[in-house]
Amino acid sequence: MKETTKLLPIKVSHRVQKALVEGTAVLAMESTVLTHGLPYPRNFEVLSELEQLCKDCGAEPATIIILDGVAHIGMEDADISNLKEKMHNHAELHKFGRRELPTAMVKGLSGGTTVSATMLLAYHAGIKVFATGGIGGVHRGWENTLDISSDLKALSQIPVIVVSAGCKAILDIPATMEYMESLGVSILGWQTSDFPAFYSRSSGISIDRVDNATELADIYRSMIALDPQPSGILLANPVPREDEIPCTVIAAHIDNAIASAKQKGIHGKELTPYLLAYLSESTKGVSVTTNLSLLMNNVKVGAIVAKELA
Ligand code: PSU
Ligand code: MN
């Protein structure tokens, strides 16, 4: 376990520390799905299923979360109990983006980390691969709101491979792709050249594809060697076919979700969790099943990539 200074309180779990020292595979995992994505206590079942799957695939899971101001890289049993108690007592759990980490640390707050914050903490711990569900991006209506997730800037600045099922159609997907091009984010399809749209396997937007982890690892190492300011790599992994929700079916739900958010004046960091919760209700849980399936699938691919880079 590593405890750093008071100003940079990062605690790496024993298991993750051991894997990092021995140079074996470690896969970072996110925690917003625990704190904001799923109801208690289902979220803890999902946590242990994801961590077990990661171990079965030969990588050490490092779930990243902020508890009482300390960034945890991998949770010990005591940390999980601490989080359970907080949820049981309805303690306030925040959603931390990258810019909020120092405030959370100094004020001793607790909460889940978004993709931008998880990338930064994974990088600090020396972890190169991170599996999530979907990244944030350019929201529809950005022309008026300028709502663009800080995930995109983080992807352009932090050299971590992020395995994601693309991004949701709650966003403006073409604008998200254009913005990532401007920022210089590398995007690669895992055994596909069609950027996936989270619930659906296809967005119709073409991307470069990689077919195996060796090729991906070589591209990552080439980028680090070549570029004085290497970006992250967004590895886009489509949802398994059997759990896909067709574009035409999810589109109407998304339109309703966005209209509802607009009517209620929901914006800023509340918007994404609101839309996800709306979809879960309006699809009667089907969107959650799809979400869990693609998360599992991203952990499997993330573990393969982490082993290649170990
Ligand atoms: N998109 C999803 N599922 C998610 C998120 C986004 O399909 O869970 C979460 C992730 O943690 C992501 C964050 O980093 O929302 C982006 O939020 P914002 O749009 O406020 O930056
Ligand atoms: Mn936003």
And the tokens for 78?
A: 């005591």
Among 61, 127, 133, CA closest to 297: 133
Neighbours of 72 (CB within 10 A): 26
Beta strands in the chain (DSSP E): 2-3, 10-12, 26-29, 60-67, 70-73, 94-96, 111-113, 129-131, 161-164, 186-190, 208-210, 233-236
> Which protein residues touch ligand 1 with a CB less than 6 Å away?
30, 32-33, 37, 97, 114-115, 133-134, 136, 149-151, 168, 198, 269, 272, 276
- pTM exceeds 0.85 for this model: yes
pLDDT band at 176 (very low <50, low <70, confident <90, very high): very high
What pLDDT score was predicted for residue 66? 98
pLDDT of 3 higher than 80: no
What pLDDT score was predicted for residue 40? 87
Query: Ligand 1, atom 20: nearest CA belongs to which residue?
Result: 269
35, 23 Cβ separation under 8 angstroms: no
Neighbours of 239 (CB within 10 A): 25
For a ligand 1 pocket test, name from 115, 274, 278, 290 the mutation site with the most ligand atoms within 8 angstroms of its C-beta: 115
What pLDDT score was predicted for residue 160? 98
Crossing angle (nearest 10°) for helices 247-264 and 271-282 = 130
The β-bridge partners of 101 are: none
And the tokens for 289?
A: 């099943």
Give tens-digit pLDDT for 50-88: 999 999 999 999 999 999 999 999 999 999 999 999 999
Q: What is the mean pLDDT of the chain?
A: 95
What pLDDT score was predicted for residue 7? 76
Average pLDDT in the 122-139 region? 96
Instruction: Catalogue all structural domains in the chain, each as residue range(s) with its CATH number.
Output: 3-309 (3.40.1790.10)
Containing 140, the helix (H) or strand (E) segment is none
pLDDT band at 39 (very low <50, low <70, confident <90, very high): confident
pLDDT of 37 higher than 90: no
Among 240, 187, 213, 215, CA closest to 57: 213
What pLDDT score was predicted for residue 195? 98
Average pLDDT in the 273-296 region? 94
Give tens-digit pLDDT for 178-205: 999 999 999 999 999 999 999 999 999 9
Average pLDDT in the 8-25 region? 97
Q: 89 C-alpha to center of ligand 1: Å? A: 25
What pLDDT score was predicted for residue 5? 67
Residue 129, C-beta contacts closer than 8 angstroms, at least 6 positions apart: 26, 27, 28, 160, 161, 163, 302, 305, 306, 309
210/214 Cα distance (integer angstroms): 9
Active site residues: 30, 168
Residue 237, C-beta contacts closer than 8 angstroms, at least 6 positions apart: 163, 164, 165, 190, 196, 294, 297, 298, 301
